[in-house]
Amino acid sequence: DVKVTQSSRYLVKRTGEKVFLECVQDMDHENMFWYRQDPGLGLRLIYFSYDVKMKEKGDIPEGYSVSREKKERFSLILESASTNQTSMYLCASSKQVSVKAFFGQGTRLTVV
Amino acid sequence: GNSVTQMEGPVTLSEEAFLTINCTYTATGYPSLFWYVQYPGEGLQLLLKATKADDKGSNKGFEATYRKETTSFHLEKGSVQVSDSAVYFCALSGSGSSNTGKLIFGQGTTLQVKP
């Protein structure tokens, strides 16, 4: 089975901290995505990547950046965490032009 | 732009009841349509999909038919179980040259099934 692994299930960070969320997939997928999930809003795309060192903004990139130095790893970076970034963060991956995405279990981030 | 609208939740049903969760979409071209399910404490899993008009996706007793004329992809199940309690997300992705693999999600519908 495809496995998408997020490094932490729960994180608590302080306002202003730099936060790294890590995601690793083991199926050689080209595409990787970061979404945030908020009640009543569904999932919204933050950033995505089609290949190593490539990245594109999603619908809500403000306050975030990403890094993809290796094909299997896609990192989400909160440069200076704020309380409005308290959310569930979901990583996903898919084969190029595939219609099926595989999701990690999510990281619930609380910024205090 | 593309968008997905789901019925408001939560939906509370008794075991063995019939389930419908409505989903409508706005999109250019011919998107692929999906239902994802999120069980408590877990990530999203693909439940079913349809890639062209009139396709019916089905899995685990759930069904949804891609209706282009009504731009809908309603999820149905004839007899729900307690184990179906979860959050259900309708989603679409682009087609042809606009198929970037990105998914656009509805807001999610929470289903609670009581014994």
- How confident is the model at residue A107, as a pLDDT? 96
Which one-letter DSSP state was computed for residue B98? G
Euclidean distance between CA atoms B84 and B37, whole angstroms: 9
Which one-letter DSSP state was computed for residue B54? T
What residue of B is the nearest CA neighbor of A50? B100
Per-residue pLDDT reduced to its tens digit, A34-80: 999 998 888 999 999 998 988 999 999 999 999 999 999 999 999 99
Q: Is A98 on the interface with B (CB under 8 A)?
A: yes
Euclidean distance between CA atoms A29 and A11, whole angstroms: 26
Task: Tell me which residue of B45, B46, B64 sits closest to B54, measured CA to CA.
Answer: B64
- For A77-101, what is the mean pLDDT? 90
Strands A19-25 and A73-78: antiparallel
CB contact under 8 A, B103 and A40: no
Find the CB nearest B99 among A40, A97, A105.
Answer: A97
Phi first, then psi: what are they for B87, rounded to 5°? -105, 130
Q: Is B93 on the interface with A (CB under 8 A)?
A: yes
Confidence of residue B28 (pLDDT cuts 50, 70, 90): confident
Q: Is B102 on the interface with A (CB under 8 A)?
A: yes
Expressed in angstroms, the distance from the first to the final Cα of chain B is 41
Strands A42-49 and A56-57: antiparallel
- How confident is the model at residue A1, as a pLDDT? 67
Distances, alpha carbon A44 to alpha carbons A59, B13, B61, in Å = 7, 28, 28
Confidence of residue B98 (pLDDT cuts 50, 70, 90): low
Residue A81 has pLDDT above 60, yes or no: yes
Euclidean distance between CA atoms B66 and B34, whole angstroms: 10
Interacting residues of B47 by C-beta distance below 8 A, sequence separation 6+? B34, B35, B36, B37, B59, B60, B62, B75, B88
Which class for B18: exposed (0-12), middle (13-18), buried (19 or more C-beta within 10 A)? Answer: exposed
Residue A98 has pLDDT above 70, yes or no: no
Q: How many Cβ atoms sit within 10 Å of the Cβ of residue B87?
A: 21
| Paired tokens of B85 | 């309690």
Find the CB nearest B43 among A33, A97, A103.
Answer: A103
Euclidean distance between CA atoms B84 and B46, whole angstroms: 14
CB contact under 8 A, B44 and A105: no
Percent of chain B beyond pLDDT 70? Answer: 95
Per-residue pLDDT reduced to its tens digit, B41-76: 888 999 999 988 999 999 999 999 999 999 999 999
- CA-based nearest distance B57→chain A, Å: 13
